[in-house]
């Protein structure tokens, strides 16, 4: 298992009239968590795209437990529980400043060859960086 945490502050533009983060913005927080998780491994989305692999989201699930509030710093924990193949599955746990679990989510992304527009395996470099966490 591999996990990484990132902190993101809820901005005014991300909230509704109640000061709650608008439900659609959780997907953006998931993306920030994934991007920072890749950086923690020494990789970037850009480097993967430059190598010819894109990663579209094929599935997303959300469970709203408590609202994320305006100006709160949210901790986004991203978890990979299994080595990826053609797909990679991420689990998310979001915590408020009181360290209360406020949201859980999941996404599945597919590795796609940018030129052929067909599913493919992730790069050997990416798998090598994840390997120590799954032995």
Under the banding of pLDDT at 50, 70 and 90, the label for residue 135 is: confident
99 Rama sector, left if φ>0, alpha if ψ -120 to 50, beta otherwise: left
Question: What tokens appear for 112 in the block?
Answer: 């796609």
Per-residue pLDDT for 72 more than 90? yes
Domains in the chain: boundaries: 2-134
Residue-wise pLDDT tens digits, 20-69: 999 999 999 999 999 999 999 999 989 999 999 999 999 999 999 999 99
In angstroms, what is the C-alpha Rg of the chain? Answer: 16
CATH superfamily of 2-134: Hotdog Thioesterase (3.10.129.10)
* pLDDT for res 82: 96
* pLDDT for res 121: 97
Beta strand pairing call for 112-113 and 2-9? unpaired
Fill in the DSSP letter of residue 52. T
């Amino acid at each position: 298992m591999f996990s990484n945490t990132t902190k993101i502050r809820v901005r005014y533009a991300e909230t509704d009239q109640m000061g709650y983060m608008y439900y659609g913005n959780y997907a953006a927080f998931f993306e920030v968590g994934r991007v920072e998780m890749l950086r923690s491994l020494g990789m970037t989305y850009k480097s993967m795209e430059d190598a010819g692999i894109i990663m579209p989201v094929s599935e997303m699930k959300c469970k709203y437990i408590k609202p994320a509030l305006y100006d709160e710093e949210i901790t986004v924990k991203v978890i990979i529980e299994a080595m990826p193949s053609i797909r990679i599955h991420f689990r998310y746990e979001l915590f408020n400043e009181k360290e209360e679990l406020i949201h859980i989510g999941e996404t599945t992304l597919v590795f796609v060859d940018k030129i052929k527009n067909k599913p493919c395996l992730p790069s050997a470099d990416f798998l090598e960086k994840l390997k120590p966490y799954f032995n």
